[in-house]
């Protein structure tokens, strides 16, 4: 069967003056600098529309061959949330007590975490992100997806930013192994759990670890054609 020829449409793009660009990125930077991982959530309800709009933003992320290999399962049912918590805590208890090497436990120590995951029940919403390793075409044939972890990771970044801009707190939780999430959420064999994100408002009086993010000079490398200090003799 002949391949369908590509179809193109005009790019929707506005070129702004540099002053407007700088103001926009400075505003976004200020908002994102306040983003912190939260482990203590209020049970206060959150409007479902906020979650839906944030997931819509996540769906705008680029993906390999535009295959969009992601699924976002939103869990608000208390019974399902408790089932997820019990399964996650069983795995995490085994991790903390037997699986994690001493170096990993030492790295986690400043965060004050342990196997207990109350937030999985307290947060009004859990978003379970699944990666779709393959799909099916119109003829029902299995089709491989490409660059799946990279694509889903980018979409998760979009999602976390959108939820923060919406005024919601989040936590990125990766219980390992995560196979129980597909079972509890009733997902098909081609979907594998990638990330579990509790979402809601912080509990009153919530505190977070006193952490310092790396400064720009530690994360930015400019390859501008100028000699670096290492090359100067």
pLDDT range class, residue 175, cuts 50, 70, 90: confident
Which of 131, 7, 126, 29 has its CA nearest to residue 74? 126
For the chain, percent of residues with pLDDT exceeding 70: 96
Each residue's pLDDT tens digit, 153-173: 999 999 999 999 999 999 999
For the chain, percent of residues with pLDDT exceeding 90: 88
What average pLDDT does the segment 31-38 reach?
Answer: 97
Hey, what are 20's tokens?
A: 């407007």
Which of 146, 128, 157, 127 has its CA nearest to residue 58? 157
Torsion of CA 94, 97, 98, 101, to 10 degrees: 120
Q: CB-based burial of residue 229 (10 Å sphere; 0-12 exposed, 13-18 middle, 19+ buried)?
A: exposed
pLDDT at 44 over 90: yes
pLDDT recorded at residue 229: 60
pLDDT recorded at residue 1: 55
For 130, which DSSP code? E
pLDDT recorded at residue 233: 40
Each residue's pLDDT tens digit, 72-125: 999 999 999 999 999 999 999 999 999 999 999 999 999 899 999 999 999 999
Higher pLDDT: 42 or 138? It is 42
pLDDT at 140 over 90: no
pLDDT recorded at residue 227: 63
pTM: 0.92
Which of 103, 129, 229 has its CA nearest to residue 187? 129
Contact 127, 71 (CB under 8 A): no
pLDDT at 231 over 60: no
For 60, which DSSP code? T
């Amino acid at each position: 069967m002949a391949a369908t020829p590509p179809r193109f449409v005009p790019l929707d793009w506005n070129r702004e003056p540099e002053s407007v660009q700088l103001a926009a990125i400075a505003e976004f930077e200020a908002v994102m600098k306040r983003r912190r991982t939260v482990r203590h959530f209020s049970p206060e309800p959150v409007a479902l529309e906020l979650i839906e709009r944030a997931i819509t933003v996540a769906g705008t992320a680029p993906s390999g061959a535009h295959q969009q290999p992601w699924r976002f399962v939103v869990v608000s049912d208390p019974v399902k949330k408790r089932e997820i918590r019990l399964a996650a805590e069983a795995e995490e208890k085994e991790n903390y007590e037997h699986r994690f090497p001493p170096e990993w436990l030492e790295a986690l120590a400043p965060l004050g975490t342990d196997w207990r995951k109350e937030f999985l029940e307290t947060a009004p919403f859990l978003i379970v992100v699944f990666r779709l390793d393959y799909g099916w075409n119109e003829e029902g044939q299995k089709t491989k997806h490409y660059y799946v972890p990279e694509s889903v990771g980018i979409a998760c970044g979009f999602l976390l930013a959108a939820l923060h801009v919406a005024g919601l707190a989040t936590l990125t939780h990766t219980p390992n192994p995560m196979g129980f999430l597909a079972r509890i959420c009733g997902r098909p064999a081609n979907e594998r759990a990638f990330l579990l994100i509790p979402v809601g408002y912080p509990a009153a009086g919530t505190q977070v670890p006193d952490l310092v993010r790396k400064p720009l000079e530690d994360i930015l490398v400019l390859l501008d054609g100028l000699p670096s200090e290492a090359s100067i003799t």
